[in-house]
Structure 1
Amino acid sequence: MSFNDGVELDPSQVEDRRGGGMGRGTKIGGGIGGGVVLLLAALFGINPQLLEGLIGTGQEQPGLSQGTAPAECKLGSDADQRLDCRITGTVNSLNAFWPAYLAKYKVEYPRPRTVLFEVGTDTGCGAATSEVGPFYCPADTTAYFDPGFFQDLVNRFGSSGGPLAQEYVVAHEFGHHIQNVLGDLDRAQQDPRGPESGAVRVELQADCYAGLWTRYATTQKDPKTGQPFLEPLTQKDLNDALSAASAVGDDRIQKAATGRVTPEAWTHGSSAQRQTWFYRGYQTGDIAQCDTFRAATL
């Protein structure tokens, strides 16, 4: 989905660490109460070893310039031209949507932090590199994004690309924050592997939450201008998001990496399941319909 040109972005909601290199830290997930979820959240939770030979160094998105500071992201028109501004605008939209939505259920929304990085960075869950892809760290309630991943999503994983494919990635990681707020995120750690595992149910629920945001994103207004953040959704937009969800399905990535599918090792669910749950959130707009933990079948 494209942004309305006159919407005013708030770059203060995104910290830019690009160019700073990776600091020193403990092993990801080591000794941190919820930190092992970072391993499950890496590239939406896929084990980086499974992706050996598939992940590249990340290249610039054609038609988009990757600037050096989100402070340059001021308007919706910037979000349509620059990838870092699109991430910033999506973060702004999510941070406007979720507080009001959760308030209906008497749940307070503590705003998460968002960090852009390249190569690697320190996190509350330990040192992380670009190879883990986008992830959410519950220890510091921060979503981390290396913009180079979004080109990998197209080149290495076969997503069709497009704005909503990228916005879906951001919304998925914010979905993990919602799970952290609601007390569901640790279920992945308790049952980390298998086709019906807690890890798979956590990831599919985050997909559903991303779809839920998508339903309302075109009416959620920028508090400064009163304009909706995003323009009306097109079928192509929806297809792009579904393509991204399919591209990071466990079965598809396992097949590409090893030539076979092993459901016992799943941490996120199949391509079809990821599409189904994203679409369920989008179609219903109801967080109660995203309860993957009570679902008899996924």
Structure 2
Amino acid sequence: MRKKIEGILTAIVTTFDDNGDFCPKRMRKQVQRQLTNGNSVFCNGTNGEFFVLSTQEKIKVTEVCVDEVAGRSPVMAHIGEISTRETIKLGKEIEKLGVDAVSVIAPYFIPVKQEELIYHYTAIADALTVPVFLYNIPVRTGNTIQPETAAKLAEHPNILGIKDSAGSAESLQAFLDVANNIHGFDVLTGPDSLIYQGFVGGAVGSISGLANVAPGYINAIWRNFKEGDLAKSKAAQDAVGNLRKNLYATVFSPAAVKKALTLMGEDVGVSRYPVMFSDEHIATIKNIIKKL
């Protein structure tokens, strides 16, 4: 029986060895860090650098995460590719591994119409048995899933919700309005700055990149909210907001998360895509870590 997707799911980094190859041993350690802090796992997402992983690596990453979690919490995997065909192909392999849900980013590089998004997601949801979450991140894809489109797709029995990473309170609220009107359609927040606001508005969970760096801080937003202590939940959110602002002032990319982890003594490897950190960036990140 699949586990309900709720609470904090860490958009876990994909660990590489010193040669830049996927390292299962290091991956297992990062999974354990998250479980220890009460967080679940979301693999092959933006912070997992899915855009520089091969198909076989995505499958292996998911396999390792599912095995290490061993049923103790939900595991969600991202399967979105640029085409409907390739997304379905990867999804069929990923669902065999025992994940509790998958997310699918909107197609990228080529502009698509809303009716084309409906075709894309419907075809994927029809082809898979694992529950599907839409993934809205227009700043990366160039394509926005409109709330009306999400409402239409919510009619599909295998589309259970959306992860909104548009980055604005307005976008989040629009999808929360959809969810509040459609039973069984859930919202997961993407930006770490909107976790608390999402929970207050009815979001069931958050997929957090910063939980890699500060798993306890991020989990405190959820834990205190669930226990009814809104003041402590909001205080944790404020702390996370400052962390986010300062960390992403160095390099606004998943590489900043990996660099922070490395400077914390976590062996996660170097990001594969070209990115450079100045001495000033390193000093800033070290100062952030010291405060944590």
TM-score by length of 1: 0.27
Structure with higher strand content? 2
Structure with higher helix content? 2
